[in-house]
Amino acid sequence: MSNVIQFLESMGKDASLSMMSPEEYAAAVKALSVDDVAQHALLNRDQNALSDSIGAYKKMMMILVPAEDDDGEGKDNDQDGDKKQEEEISNN
């Protein structure tokens, strides 16, 4: 695990680290063994610059649900959609 990820994980799970004052936070970042770009991104709390500095994807797609489920059979017409929903409701 890289030092940056390790630092973020510690901040995420440790209440005292998550409540650091700006001065404590800056000191903690400066004490990390990371390159200048990552350190700068951390100090500025710049999420995009941090991603760039550690070689993460630039843009993430996070939409995991469609407005309508096609149930693997192409687009439903309204009647089919209604029927499927009725079946789902009666199965629950």
Partner 1 sequence: MKKTGSMVCVGTGMMLGAHISPRSRSHIEQADVVFAAVSDPVVELWLQAMNKDVRSLQNYYCEGKSRHETYREMVEAMLVEVRLGKRVCGAFYGHPGVFALAPHKVIKQARIEGFDAHMEPGISAEDCLYADLGIDPGRFGCQHYEASQFMFYRRQIDPSAYLILWQVGIAGDRSLSRYSTGSAYKQLLVELLAEHYPADHEVIIYEAATLPISKPRVEKLALSELMGTELHLQSTMVLPPCQAMLRNEAMIARVEELERVLNSKVTVATTQQ
Residues 44-63 that bind partner 1 (CB under 8 A): 45, 47, 50-51, 54-58, 60-63
Q: Is residue 3 a contact residue for partner 1 (CB under 8 A)?
A: no
> Of 21, 22, 36, 66, which lies in the binding site for partner 1, with binding defined by CB under 8 A?
66
Interface with partner 1 (CB under 8 A), residue total: 34
CA angle 2, 53, 42 (to 5 degrees): 80
Q: Which residues contact 26 (CB under 8 A, 6 or more apart)?
A: 43
Is 67 a binding residue for partner 1 by CB under 8 A? The answer is yes
Chain residues that interact with partner 1, rule: CB under 8 A: 1-2, 4-5, 8-13, 17-18, 42, 45, 47, 50-51, 54-58, 60-70, 72
